């Protein structure tokens, strides 16, 4: 039995997570769901956005399924990633039949370093009207994210992909920080001779994810660049409602859709649960429940191809109704 810590969070998290949980229950895999609280409402009531009991529940679980963070995101999901040392942010980019994608045949993964860079939050005002931010890139963190990316490429190559890792950086301008990042990439690549390698400046990469996304397999980059590239990339395959992600470290797995809490549609049953269901697929694979993961993804593909979707995808179903359509096909 897998122990899952479920944190719905804020806004549409309270709608899309229950839909994904219903799908997970339909797989026949034995789960113990432990619901925990975090987010804006908890903060308003208690003054603490991420209670200690929620942290304890996350640490005790085999995996964590998270919904969405509102205004307290920095004190909830960002903090939780740091506490659990989930250093690899995994963001698949895939086109599905039935979705109005800008291109077909897209199937690659962005691997984003999750612990340093500008997101360390080291900022200061050094004079009136003058502010600075410190960008932190270390060899140790770079090595482990590259090893993770190359191992993923090895696994995907066994499934028939090209077996390639692309590094996105800006070493021509950020000569010291991204210079180290790029240098470490090629050092790690020496241990993976069977995997193709290439690197691009991040601005060129931004163009390539639009002009030739079908040429990528694993894309690895630093924290801020990964955040920006991945949001642009999913615009090619239907938008944030189609964008799952996982935060993985050596000990913990924290899974969350990329989208935010969407307060403008929260509570209306309009939220697209696809990203959260795909996030649950990622969680199943993390738990080595590969057969169940395939079942869920196949059922979701059928629902998407039939147009049994929420209004943002051209359908008429509510969040829960779409979840039910996927669950009954699992």
Q: Which residues are catalytic?
A: 119, 170, 203, 227, 231
Neighbour count for residue 197 (Cβ, 10 Å)? 17
Cα–Cα distances (Å) from 194 to 82, 155, 156, 214, in that order, read 33, 12, 12, 20
Around Cβ 20, how many Cβ atoms within 10 Å? 29
Tokens matching residue 51 = 């209670």
Cα separation, 145 vs 20, in Å, equals 28
| Structure tokens given for 253 | 């797995």
Specify the long-range contacts of residues 262-269, CB closer than 8 Å, at least 24 apart. Answer: 262/11, 262/12, 262/68, 263/10, 263/11, 263/70, 265/12, 266/10, 266/11, 266/12, 266/14, 266/15, 267/14, 267/15, 269/15, 269/318, 269/319, 269/320
In this structure, what DSSP letter does residue 312 have?
A: G
DSSP letter at 110 equals E
Tell me the three state secondary structure of residue 44.
helix
**Cα separations in angstroms, 178 against 18, 132, 185, 214:** 41, 18, 10, 26
Rounded CA separation 230/92 (Å): 9
Nearest to 4 by CA among 284, 328, 319: 284
Rg of the Cα atoms in the chain: 20
Contacts of 190 (CB under 8 A, 6+ apart): none
Distance, CA of 274 to CA of 243 (rounded, Å): 8
């Amino acid at each position: 039995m897998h122990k899952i810590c479920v944190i719905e969070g804020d806004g549409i998290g309270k709608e899309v997570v229950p839909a994904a949980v219903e799908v997970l229950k339909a797989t026949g895999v034995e789960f113990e769901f432990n619901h925990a609280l975090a987010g804006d409402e908890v903060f308003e009531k208690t003054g603490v956005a991420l209670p200690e009991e929620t942290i304890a529940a996350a640490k005790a679980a085999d995996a964590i399924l998270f919904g969405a963070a509102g205004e307290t995101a920095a004190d909830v999901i960002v903090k939780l990633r740091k506490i659990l040392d989930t250093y690899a942010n995994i963001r698949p980019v895939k086109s599905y039949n039935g979705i109005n994608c800008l291109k077909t045949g897209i199937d690659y993964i962005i691997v984003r370093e999750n612990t340093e860079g500008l997101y360390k939050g080291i900022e200061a005002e050094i004079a009136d009207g003058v502010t600075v931010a410190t960008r932190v890139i270390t060899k140790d963190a770079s090595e482990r994210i590259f090893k993770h990316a190359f191992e993923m490429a090895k696994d995907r190559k066994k499934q028939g992909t090209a077996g390639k890792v692309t590094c996105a950086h800006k070493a021509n301008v950020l000569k010291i920080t991204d210079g180290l990042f790029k240098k470490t990439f090629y050092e790690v690549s020496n241990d993976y001779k069977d995997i193709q390698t290439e690197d691009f400046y991040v601005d060129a990469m931004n163009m390539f994810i639009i002009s030739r996304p079908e040429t990528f397999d694993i894309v690895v980059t630093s924290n801020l660049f990964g955040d920006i590239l991945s949001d642009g990339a999913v615009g090619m395959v239907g938008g944030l409602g189609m964008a799952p992600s996982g935060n993985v470290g050596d000990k913990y797995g924290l899974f969350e859709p990329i989208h935010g809490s969407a307060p403008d549609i929260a509570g209306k049953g309009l939220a697209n649960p696809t990203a959260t269901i795909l996030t649950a697929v990622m969680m199943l694979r993390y738990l080595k429940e590969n057969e169940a993961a395939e079942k869920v993804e196949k059922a979701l593909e059928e629902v998407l191809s039939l147009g049994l979707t929420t209004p943002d995808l051209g359908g008429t179903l509510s969040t829960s109704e779409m979840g039910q359509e996927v669950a009954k096909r699992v």
